[in-house]
Amino acid sequence: MAEQTLANHSDRLNAINIYPVADADTGTNLYLTVRAAAQALANLEPSDVGVTMATAGRAAMEHARGNSGTLLSVSLVAMAEPLAGAQRLSGPLLAAALHRAQLRAWSALSEPMPGTILSVLEAAARGAKAVGAGQNADESNHALAETINGAVDAARAAVVLTESQLEVLTDAHVVDAGGVGLLLILDCLRSVILGEPLQEDLLDGLSGYKVQDPNIALDMPEQEGVEVMCSISLTPLAAAGLRMELDDLGDSVIMSAVSEEADANGSYPWRLHVHVPSSGVALDAIRAVGDPSNVSISALTATSSDDGHDLL
């Protein structure tokens, strides 16, 4: 459901994608990231909730696209941890999963900013927790329904606030694209849990989101530089050193472990994302500490958002 919903909304999400760069691809990136997760689940044998979420998260992270896709995949991997071994989802488990996701997402980004998908995720976690606080660890289906409703309601309120939290969004009179994308995904979860249709009025009144609104991203100044993404196996110490170097070379640095299982050398699989003036400076730093795989490089410009290519 989330895959199809994001496909339906990708054009409008792209149109308001102006932060952290106006490259008009947030909708596309979220759709492709979720599609990878859905494809992985299509081939999964019946499993508990934790295994299902972990499988989706790993697939999403390995094929994540852009800032938003990377942060979403980090969140999915984190959500799987409190769900390990659970045969069914409950209100307390959902609240714990969202809390873990928002902590991991904020820590994965070197310079987390309010007014983004991070704020919406944090609000969803707080909304779920607030409902759960009055339920005394109730694991009933009713409590689960109340919890997801609390998460979605809080997430929507946070999306509205994004316009006033970042100057670039305030000036353009739009809400954050990544935040809207996450809201749509949460509403898909709500729809599945409650057995109800998606909320038709969920996005009503969001600045810049009417079909007739202009494509703000294409009117923004052309962006310089490239986005580099890859997977790499590193020890925590080496990963910390690489993060510091990439922080000096560029911005929008995201690094998160794909799993908590180390190899014989104590290295973990990581997913990496960074915006840099040129791909060479990032790749030189990355290759100095390890052997990257699943490398992709994309231009940071709205007119070239589909010109990214993979370097296997």
Burial 107-117 (b: 16+ CB within 10 A, else e): ebbbeeeebbb
Confidence (pLDDT) at 187: 98
Give per-residue pLDDT as tens, 194-229: 999 999 999 999 999 988 888 887 777 777 899 999
- Residue 88 DSSP code: S
pTM confidence score: 0.90
E strand or H helix at 275, and its extent?
strand 268-276
Give per-residue pLDDT as tens, 68-77: 999 999 999 9
**Who wins on pLDDT, 202 or 21?**
202
**Who wins on pLDDT, 139 or 167?**
167
Confidence (pLDDT) at 269: 92
Dihedral of CA 267/308/4/43: which sign?
A: negative
Cα angle 299, 31, 56; round to 5: 115
Confidence (pLDDT) at 302: 59
Mean pLDDT, the chain, integer: 91
Is the pLDDT confidence value at 135 over 90? no
**Phi-psi region for residue 235, left (φ > 0), alpha (ψ -120 to 50) or beta?**
beta
Confidence (pLDDT) at 224: 84
Question: How many angstroms separate the CA atoms of 66 and 306, rounded?
Answer: 12
Select from 97, 139, 102, 151 the least CA-distant residue to 122.
102
**How is 16-40 classified by DSSP, letter by letter?**
T--SS---S-HHHHHHHHHHHHHHH
Is the pLDDT confidence value at 53 over 70? yes
Mean pLDDT lowest among 181-190, 211-220, 239-248, 279-288: 211-220
